[in-house]
């Protein structure tokens, strides 16, 4: 069957047509017909051969980790999904070590050993192919009404996992609204206007936060207009400095970082508010060291009770929350949510998407 494959040793990306079709091997597995696979920055890094590890013994890695599929067949022990269901399959699989308490608890998103695998990224083939078999316990059913936008679930899980942890942390302030998932009266800044940032902005808006999206694009850009249309404030870093942004916002309760830009992020940390939480999600490229005002940051963190944390991957709770939230987003902003998916392409067009300067927000490979 056809599969989009990266050959790290040959530095080649090819759509092969002889990838072996998978079969059900255990009665807990389900066979999926792949519908759509999203392309993101991680895929582009793999296509630059910076990243991406084929399964042991394979010269290539089938890429793709953001997926939407239809269940074709299920093993006899599967009750979680049934044929015809639309499903999103989780990406990370547990490490083998008995001592890894996270993986043994089914929370490989917090793996201690680093020996986890990830479909389409590390040691396991991904979803950019025609059919996939996996254990049904990694699959989450999506309502059929979300068919057109469900490919956004996986990138949304990043914000969902960040917010779940933020509520845990803000339980230290039980006398404020925050802590039970209610952001009313709280002010959030989202750094970056890519898919992860914009989906994060929606997740904050549905919880009642007042949201400012801070990014490079001009204030008249399509991204800025999109933010205005959902009720977020858009502020361009080209015309407004971070101290000016802080004046506009007031006490910044939460920063959701979705850029991978370290200098911008640490400058924003300087204006984080009292009792504020800063959530990093971006992975910076290896560039020259930046200088930061460490005294100021440390003084602020102590004197303002601040908390800074990073988050990666997502557990079953974040997948469930993402599906739930995407339904809320689509009911409230149908046109804006659809507009996040800027192109659907045939598998043959993937190389230009991965290596070229394809514009748009979220581009998708459609297999059927
Ligand atoms: Zn991704
Ligand atoms: Zn582990």
The 3-state DSSP class for residue 149 equals: coil
Compute the distance from residue 228 Cα to the ligand 2 centre, in Å.
42
Up-side HSE of residue 261: CA atoms within 13 Å toward CB? 18
313: how many CB neighbours lie within 10 A of its CB? 19
Compute the distance from residue 363 Cα to the ligand 1 centre, in Å.
11
Give 285 or 78, the one with higher predicted confidence. 78
Compute the distance from residue 81 Cα to the ligand 1 centre, in Å.
24
Burial class (CB in 10 A: 0-12, 13-18, 19+), 16: middle
Compute the distance from residue 148 Cα to the ligand 1 centre, in Å.
18
Q: Which ligand is closest in space to the CA of residue 46? A: 1
Q: What is the pLDDT of residue 178?
A: 62
Compute the distance from residue 305 Cα to the ligand 1 centre, in Å.
32
Compute the distance from residue 122 Cα to the ligand 2 centre, in Å.
14
pLDDT single digits (tens) 246-301? 999 999 999 999 999 999 999 999 999 999 999 999 999 878 899 999 999 999 99
Q: Which ligand is closest in space to the CA of residue 38? A: 1
Q: Which ligand is closest in space to the CA of residue 152? A: 1
Compute the distance from residue 67 Cα to the ligand 2 centre, in Å.
23
Q: How distant, in Å, are the alpha carbons of 73, 78, 91, 140, 206 from that of 135?
A: 12, 9, 12, 11, 32
* Distance between CA atoms of residues 6 and 346, nearest Å: 17
Compute the distance from residue 65 Cα to the ligand 1 centre, in Å.
6
Q: What is the pLDDT of residue 268?
A: 98
Compute the distance from residue 102 Cα to the ligand 2 centre, in Å.
6
Mean pLDDT for 320-333 is 98
The 3-state DSSP class for residue 275 equals: coil
Compute the distance from residue 129 Cα to the ligand 1 centre, in Å.
16
Q: What is the pLDDT of residue 106?
A: 97
Q: Which ligand is closest in space to the CA of residue 110? A: 2
Element (H, E) at 34: strand 29-39
Compute the distance from residue 248 Cα to the ligand 1 centre, in Å.
32
Compute the distance from residue 101 Cα to the ligand 2 centre, in Å.
7
Q: Are the C-beta atoms of residues 62 and 4 closer than 8 Å to each other?
A: yes
Compute the distance from residue 263 Cα to the ligand 1 centre, in Å.
23
Q: Which ligand is closest in space to the CA of residue 157? A: 1
Residue 270 backbone class (left: φ over 0; alpha: ψ -120 to 50; beta: rest): alpha
* Distance between CA atoms of residues 111 and 95, nearest Å: 7
Give 107 or 358, the one with higher predicted confidence. 107
Mean pLDDT for 192-218 is 97
Mean pLDDT for 298-321 is 98
Q: Which ligand is closest in space to the CA of residue 313? A: 1
Mean pLDDT for 69-94 is 98
Q: What is the pLDDT of residue 151?
A: 98
Q: Are the C-beta atoms of residues 32 and 18 closer than 8 Å to each other?
A: no
Compute the distance from residue 92 Cα to the ligand 2 centre, in Å.
10
pTM: 0.96
Q: Which ligand is closest in space to the CA of residue 121? A: 1
Compute the distance from residue 196 Cα to the ligand 2 centre, in Å.
25
């Amino acid at each position: 069957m056809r599969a989009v494959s990266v050959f790290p040793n040959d530095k080649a990306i090819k759509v092969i047509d002889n990838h072996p079709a998978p079969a059900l091997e255990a009665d807990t597995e389900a066979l999926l017909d792949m519908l759509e696979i999203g392309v993101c920055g991680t895929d582009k890094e793999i296509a630059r051969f910076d990243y991406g590890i084929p399964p042991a013994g394979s010269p290539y890695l089938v890429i793709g980790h953001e997926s939407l599929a239809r269940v074709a067949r299920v093993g006899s022990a599967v009750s979680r999904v049934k044929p015809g269901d639309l499903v999103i399959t989780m990406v990370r699989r547990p490490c083998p070590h008995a001592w890894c308490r996270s993986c043994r608890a089914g929370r490989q998103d917090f793996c201690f050993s680093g020996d986890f695998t990830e479909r389409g990224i590390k040691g396991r083939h991904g979803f950019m192919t025609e059919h996939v078999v996996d254990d049904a316990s990694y699959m989450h059913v999506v309502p059929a009404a979300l068919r057109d936008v469900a490919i956004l679930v996986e990138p949304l899980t990043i914000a969902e996992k960040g917010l779940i942890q933020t509520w845990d942390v803000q339980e230290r302030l039980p006398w404020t609204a925050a802590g039970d998932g209610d952001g009313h009266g709280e002010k959030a800044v989202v750094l970056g206007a890519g898919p992860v940032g914009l989906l994060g902005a929606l997740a904050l808006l549905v919880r009642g936060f007042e949201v400012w999206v801070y990014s490079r694009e001009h204030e008249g850009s399509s991204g800025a207009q999109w933010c205005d249309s959902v009720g977020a404030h858009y502020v361009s870093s080209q015309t407004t400095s971070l101290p000016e942004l802080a004046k506009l916002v007031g006490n910044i309760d939460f920063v959701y970082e979705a850029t991978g830009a370290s200098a911008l992020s640490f400058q924003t940390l300087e204006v984080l508010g009292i009792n504020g939480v800063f959530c990093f999600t971006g992975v910076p490229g290896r560039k020259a060291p930046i200088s930061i005002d460490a005294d100021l940051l440390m003084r602020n963190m102590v004197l303002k009770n601040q908390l800074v944390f990073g988050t990666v991957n997502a557990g079953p709770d974040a997948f469930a929350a993402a599906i739930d939230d995407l339904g809320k987003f689509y009911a409230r902003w149908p046109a804006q949510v659809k507009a996040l998916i800027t192109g659907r392409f045939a598998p043959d067009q993937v190389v230009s998407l991965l290596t070229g300067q394809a514009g748009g927000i979220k581009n998708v490979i459609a297999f059927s």
